[in-house]
Amino acid sequence: MKFIDRILNKIVSYRINHLIFPKELADKMPIYCSWHVDWTGIEKGSIEIDSDNIYKGMLQIGHDRIAKGLIGSKKSKINLEHNGKLIFKGPADLSQGISIYCHDNATLTIGRGIYTNGYCTIYSRKKVTIGNDNMWGWNVLLMDSDGHPIFDTDNKIINEPREINIGNNVWLASDSSIMKGVSIPDGCIVGKGSTVTGIYSEKNAILAGCPAKIIKRNITWNRGDYKI
């Protein structure tokens, strides 16, 4: 079965690369995806790689590199609405169950060296920017809108989307939720199950709770031997 999966992965990856990129870039095969990824709305130019070093398999999408014992569907989904843009700044490993949605004219920028565990969701209706060397646990949610509009009695929308900014070297622990308008500085950790709703300015801090607040300062962390 694994042999068949590898063959199907290569076939689908070839097709996706040549749907998205100019031939010269597509032939380098920068995207290596699982055949279980559901691609919707992709077209030439809808995904960009903003890097001087583009190589085969640098973007790993939908593969089973999730935590041992984590059980769930193998399905992943990449949905880019008309003029929705997904930009990679370098290599990335987005594991099985990843779900990405970019609405019309929305932008999602993902920094180099990101690793996401299983079943993470990024929902961009405006702009989401993720820095370099992020590490995410499973079931992390980023959402720069409320999903549905809310109106006042004069029929004006009162809950417009607000962009999200995640710094470099940020660890989002499993089941954490990052909501619209959030800014998280470099070197921070978000605790398991936390809901982040604010703008933070202190680097190298641990944020935890619902809503999250700073519970520890002047910390550092690293991913050990894991490299992208």
Identify the three-state secondary structure at position 2.
helix
Supply the pLDDT for residue 73.
82
Mean pLDDT for the stretch of residues 21-38: 98
Is pLDDT at 223 greater than 90 in this prediction? no
- Dihedral of CA atoms 80, 85, 91, 94 in degrees, nearest 10, equals -30
CA distance 33 to 95: 10
Supply the pLDDT for residue 69.
66
Which DSSP string do the residues of 77-146 spell out, in sequence order? Answer: EEEE-TT-EEEESS-EEE-TT-EEEE-TT-EEEE-TTEEE-TT-EEEESSEEEE-SS-EE-TT-EEESS-
Dump pLDDT digits (tens) for 171-190: 999 999 999 999 999 999 99
The percent of residues in the chain predicted with pLDDT above 70, rounded, is: 97
Supply the pLDDT for residue 225.
73
Kindly tell me the burial class for residue 69, based on how many C-beta atoms sit within 10 Å of its own C-beta (0-12, 13-18, 19 or more). exposed
The set of residues, in sequence order, having a beta carbon less than 8 Å from that of 181 and lying 6+ positions away, is 144, 162, 163, 164, 197, 198, 199
The percent of residues in the chain predicted with pLDDT above 90, rounded, is: 89
Q: What is the mean pLDDT of the chain?
A: 95
Lowest mean pLDDT among 64-68, 103-107, 126-130, 144-148: 64-68
Is pLDDT at 68 greater than 80 in this prediction? no
Supply the pLDDT for residue 111.
98
Q: Per DSSP, what are the bridge partners of residue 79? A: 40, 101
H or E segment to which residue 14 belongs: helix 2-20
Dump pLDDT digits (tens) for 90-111: 999 999 999 999 999 999 999 9
Dump pLDDT digits (tens) for 185-216: 999 999 999 999 999 999 999 999 999 999 99
| Residue 202 amino acid letter | E
Dump pLDDT digits (tens) for 30-58: 999 999 999 999 999 999 999 999 999 99
Per-residue confidence band for 157, with pLDDT thresholds at 50, 70 and 90: very high
2-216 fold: UDP N-Acetylglucosamine Acyltransferase; domain 1 (2.160.10)
CA angle 152, 154, 156 (to 5 degrees): 60
Spell out the domain ranges in the chain.
2-216
